[in-house]
Structure 1
Amino acid sequence: MREMEADIIIVGGGAAGMAAAISAAEQGAEVIVFEKANTTGGCANMAMGLLGVETKMQKERLIDCTREAAFQKFMDYTHWRSDARLVKNYIYKSASTIEWLESMGVKFALPSKYFPGSEATWHIVQPKTGAPGLRAAATMIKAMTDRAEELGVKICLESPVQKLIKDDGDVIGVVAKDKDGEIEAYGSAVIIATGGFGDSPEFIKKYTRFEWGKDLFSYRIPGLTGDGISMAWDAGAARDRMDMELVFFAPNTGGYAPIELPFRQPNVFVNLDGERFYDESVVENPVFSVNAIIRQKNRTVFSIIDESIMKHYEKNGLDLINVVTSNISMDDFKQEMNDLIKNGNDVLFIADSIEELAEKTGIDKEGLVKTINDYNEACKLRDNVFNKNPKYLKPLIGPKYYALKFAPSAYGSLGGIKINYKTQAVDTEDNVIPGLFAAGTDANSVCNPDYVFVLPGNTLGFAVNSGRMAGENAVQYIKENFTEE
């Protein structure tokens, strides 16, 4: 067995792990990062941008969301279930983190809202080529990796960590494994940042409300199997709230697929009983929508439009757009629709009558016919069921009818390791586990009970900012406990 040594050992080379490595190395610490994949970045390579509050870009655009207001909005949204000092540290650090990334060469296209009712806190990364969109943050990861290597951080790829090493209650290192065998790496502090458990159906079934593939169709970034969380628990860390970063997608389409474009609108949404279940104007907020969907039978719903609504969207544009879907056109939708029709599918249904649509989808026929009749009457005057905004009331008159199935999905997991506001792992009695820190998704229990979509950019934002904090706090811990006077 080989041995390695550094001041700080980091488990995971994603956004949180790389941020921790850079912030620690900038203060002179020797750092080793163990990453089990063959590249850095993890799920951050799929992301678009991160939260920032009171950044220069916002001020230049007269975006007046203050740190105080953002903190209050965050805590109100979570009903103060979250660690207020951790949330405050994160939000108040976020502007300097944007500048910190810019100093590495990261460019941001714009600070954006996710939907009209949210704040423009989402700092979308500008890729070197192409327009901002999904996977844009991979450019940021490349810049962070280059910076870490420039600072002398040793990055060990394809080297999964198997367990933590403890000595008299303190965490002092890890056991890892690469192609040449086992490695014992010793340090004064260990930071866990392995990206959560989004690729573990077992974790999801055991620790959340869902069963993957049955009532949850979330992204699965390979390798995110809860390794770091399990290691922290084995070392005595307490389990904090665990859930999924919930949104809703058409199952098995990849999420935000072109086929969803005209259906992810304030159309008629019904459950399997054929009944409406919420004000469809709320569709712009993924969390509010998925919360409503979760309450329905089999956690399955359908968005229904007809030929006239389809033509309306083609001619006049969609009622609602967001940054994620802004690069998708109705031409993309038509292409994917034709492919699904040609190849067969179980999410898109087309019929010549409401009755036929009910038969094809499995929706209760009497319930659906009554709902559509009632809805068409409401379009003449007002919606007495949910008081839906009249501008979104469009009658379904045929001659063709379309339905797209939606179900709960998620970008990944949230939470697992309980930390304090200094990012130190704590036990069930809230006592600090000396030498053990955690950052990013593994420790992201601040979005409680829901992902705070009113301040978009929270997942990547918390990852990078908590990573920075963990790196800085680990260095401080070493200075206070191991530096000779």
Structure 2
Amino acid sequence: MKKRLLALIMSSIVMVSALTGCGKQQDAGSSEGVLPTGTFEGIGNSFGGELKVSVKLADGKIEEITILEHKDTPGVSDPAMKDIPVAIIEAQSTDVEVASGASMSSKGIMEAVQNALDNANGVVKEEVTLLEEPDVLIVGGGMAGMVSAITAAENGAKVIIFEKTGKLGGTFGGSTLSGTNTKMQEENGITDDSPEKFFQDFIRLNEGYKEIYPEAEYTWNEDLGRYYAEHSGEAVDWLDELGADMKDRTPSQPTLYEPLSVPRVYVGDRASYEEVVTKELQKHIDAGNVSVALNTKGEELLMNGKEVVGVKVTKADGTEAEFKADSTILATGGYGHSEELVKKYNFQNFTTTCPEFVTGDGHIMAEKAGAVLKNMDFLTAYSGGLKNEENGLKKVDSIRVKDFPYIIFVNENGERFIDELGNEDGSDYDKISSSWKKAKDNKVYIMLDQAMVDSLKAEGKSIISGDKDWSKFAAQLEKGEVLFTGSTIEDVAEKAGINGANLATTIERYNGFARNGIDEDFGRTRLMTEFTGGTYYVFETTPYLMITAGGPDMNDKGEVLNADGEAIPGLYQAGEIIGMANAFGRTTIGGIGNTGNVVWGKLAGSSAAEYAKSK
């Protein structure tokens, strides 16, 4: 576990971040003033957006902290919601350890409590004046935006970052990185890797996609794939050298995706990546070369003919402003929480782990400026999402089907259509996940019976991810929205809205396969168990999203391209917005999204600075 990040992540200012250290964390009753008695509210910025708390003070001490509102993912954020208020009260300070696995929620609570304490003390947070003549504007203050700013500043540019939320850090997800010829590979005796081997993995994995979708026609920019392969190791080493916690420093194979030719995936501490990059950015802020406008949303690109010359933004107070610069970088992330864009290009039914602010702003801005969006129809589907009305698009519960035995998949006609488990090495994962893309209305029905449920419980497993005590299962049964039960196959089928007669035939046939150990239809070889009756369960599942894969076309200089394949002067991009499918083709590869924030950030920052200096 790591301490909370610098004050620049924790402080929420109306227009700009308190990047110079104002609003620092304090002990109750410190030199900032004796805390008054009363209850005060504060707002912080967490993974899902704003988080609101009330803090009860008495006798100069923090007595009680209540989380009033938050938009973080239940389950994932639970440790922070439970433990951080207790830790703050015990320490009488907001400078406490983050909850493991919930670092962003932890920091959001700390920030909110600190702001409540500041409100109690009447602390006025000063605004920082933005640079008057910037060379580079960056829309988006996530990992890619911060790396872009660092690199542009290192190359002599003056930079302003516009971030629509109240904090830097964005949606940097997971903890995996990938790269070739790294120091960690060398430490572990791996000397046979190369950028060319990594690139050939991209080629090989794309061939696998063509086997799943033989009708698919698509192109990807192999120059971008080669650029990533050549610079990925440098990116991993850069984070390592900055002091990121790389845990056991052992290169591995992806745990969820197809194996690579050489172990080159690294699992570190996600919070530490953000922390070290934030500290590096702070150096350039302190030097007067970078300034940051928080709660400031990029609305559209300013044009001079075909050239991008700036950005129009909406400030926290609702007013609009225009900023001019020779170069602009879009680092706005994906569109995984935009129902409009996902339905337009991908799925009709889905849930998402992406926060509410991830709405494809950069995609829309770039397209209006003449960019061409490519590979938007491709989107990695994570399987087994449970969509409840009360949560809207937010993914709260899911079934990680790769982990669980016995279950079968059926479609709305009550028919099986695939080997549900595939090979143990994960090489069939993409094929299995494609079930949700191909299914009518993107719905796949997962079925098991009481004996299977009892067996899972006896083995200490759950069917819903993270449901150790099976309370989530019970809650879903009570809701009756996506988990249906019945004493007969026909009964449960009717409740789930699938063909009961066909389902009965499917179960009878599958039971024969389970008895004989041979799946004559789809070749399943693992963990087949007969359905024995009693009580039947059917889950209605949808895909869930973590990242999007299409975006504006660009070249290996980080320049966004128009319909003629020409660079749009003054426009660059970095991070998720570029679309992994544009750089790597239609496949899933462990660690490329996170490492890409660094690779593409460095590319965009250096190219944008060079262009600005040439003007």
SS of residue in 2 equivalent to 1:282: coil
Name the SS of the counterpart of 2:552 in structure 1: coil
Q: 1:116 to 1:76 in 2, by over 3 A?
A: closer
CA distance in 2, matches of 1:357, 1:448: 44
Matches within 5 A, 1:207-222: 208-211=345-348, 215-222=349-356
Task: Flag the 1:306–1:54 CA change in 2: closer, same or farther, 3 A.
Answer: farther
Deviations, residues 149-190 of structure 1 (Å, cap 9, x unaligned): 222221211111222223353323222232464443232211
SS in 2 for 1:380: helix
Residue of structure 2 equivalent to 1:141: 274
Give the direction of change, closer, same or farther, for the CA distance of 1:447–1:410 in structure 2 (3 Å limit). farther
Equivalent-residue separation in structure 1 for 2:491 and 2:604 (angstroms) = 57
- Residue 93 of structure 1: CA displacement? 1.1
Q: Does 1:77 align with 2:218?
A: no
Give 1:365-404 correspondences, 5 Å limit.
Answer: 365-381=500-516, 382-389=518-525, 391-404=526-539
| Alignment gaps of 5+ in structure 1 | 127-136
> Is contact 1:164–1:171 with CA below 8 Å preserved after alignment?
yes
For 2:224, the equivalent position in structure 1 comes to 86
Q: Does residue 302 in structure 1 map to residue 445 in structure 2?
A: yes
| Pairwise CA distance, 1:116 | 7.0
Q: Give the secondary-structure state (helix, strand or coil) at the position aligned to 2:322.
A: strand
Equivalent pairs counted in the alignment come to 455
| 1:340 Cα deviation after fit | 2.5
Q: In the TM superposition, what is the alpha-carbon distance from 1:15 to its structure 2 partner?
A: 1.9
Q: Tell me which amino acid in the other structure corresponds to 2:371.
A: A
Q: Which runs of 4+ in 1 moved over 6 A?
A: 317-320
Distance 1:319 1:251, change over 3 A: closer
Please state whether the residue corresponding to 2:171 is helix, strand or coil: helix
Gaps of 5+ in 2: 1-129, 208-217, 389-393
1:197, 1:474 → 2: CA distance?
A: 24
Residue identity opposite 2:597 in structure 1: A
More divergent stretch after superposition (60-69 vs 5-14): 60-69
Map 1:60-459; keep pairs closer than 5 Å. 60-61=187-188, 66-78=194-206, 81-109=219-247, 111-112=251-252, 113-115=254-256, 117-119=258-260, 120-126=263-269, 137-152=270-285, 153-179=290-316, 181-206=319-344, 208-211=345-348, 215-243=349-377, 244-252=379-387, 255=395, 257=397, 264-265=404-405, 267-282=407-422, 286-316=429-459, 331-332=468-469, 334-342=470-478, 344-381=479-516, 382-389=518-525, 391-446=526-581, 452-453=587-588, 455-459=589-593
Percent identity over paired residues? 29
Opposite residue 438 of structure 1, the aligned amino acid is: Q
Residue 444 of structure 1 and its aligned partner are, at CA, apart by 1.3
Task: Give, as a single letter, the amino acid of the residue that structure 1 aligns with 2:231.
Answer: K
- Structure 1's 168 and 256: CA in aligned 2 closer, same or farther, altered over 3 A? closer
Specify the alignment match of 1:129 in structure 2.
Answer: none
How far off its partner does 1:17 sit? 1.0
CA distance, structure 2, for counterparts of residue 121 and residue 451 of structure 1: 20
CA distance in 2, matches of 1:86, 1:450: 10
1:6-17 alignment to 2 at 5 Å? 6-17=134-145
Q: Distance in 1 between matches of 2:257 and 2:337?
A: 32
Q: CA deviation at 1:433?
A: 1.5
Q: Distance in 1 between matches of 2:275 and 2:373?
A: 32
Structure 1 residues 168 and 373, CA, compared in 2 at 3 Å: closer, same or farther?
closer
Using the TM superposition, name which of 25-34 and 370-379 deviates more.
25-34
State how far apart, in whole Å, the 2-side matches of 1:65 and 1:316 are.
40
CA contact (8 A) 1:197 1:224 kept: yes
Q: Which amino acid aligns with 1:147?
A: E
Counterpart code for 2:541? F
The CA distance in 1 between the partners of 2:187 and 2:219, in whole Å, is 34
The match for 1:41 is 169
Measure the CA separation in 2 of the matches of 1:55 and 1:26: 23
Describe the superposition over 1:253-305 as per-residue Cα deviations: whole angstroms up to 9, x where unpaired.
Answer: 65483765798556211111111111112395553223223323332222222
**Greater Cα offset, 57-66 or 6-15:** 57-66
Secondary structure in 2 aligned to 1:280?
Answer: coil
Whole-angstrom CA distance in 2 between matches of 1:403 and 1:448: 38
Normalising by the residue count of structure 2, what TM-score does the alignment of the two structures yield?
0.67
1:460-471 paired onto structure 2 within 5 Å: 460-471=594-605
What's the secondary structure of 2:355's corresponding residue? coil
**In structure 2, what is the Cα distance between the partners aligned to 1:461 and 1:385?**
40
Secondary structure at the counterpart of residue 78 of structure 1? helix
CA shift at 1:9, angstroms? 1.1
Instruction: Indicate how the Cα distance of structure 1 residues 364 and 273 shifts in structure 2: closer, same or farther if over 3 A, else same.
Output: same
- Cα RMSD, aligned residues only: 3.0
Deviation at 1:201, TM superposition (A): 1.9
What is residue 20 of structure 1 aligned with on the other side? Answer: 148
Greater Rg by CA: 2
8 Å CA contact retained: 1:21, 1:31 = yes
- Going from structure 1 to structure 2, the CA distance change for 1:379 and 1:448 (only over 3 Å counts) comes to farther
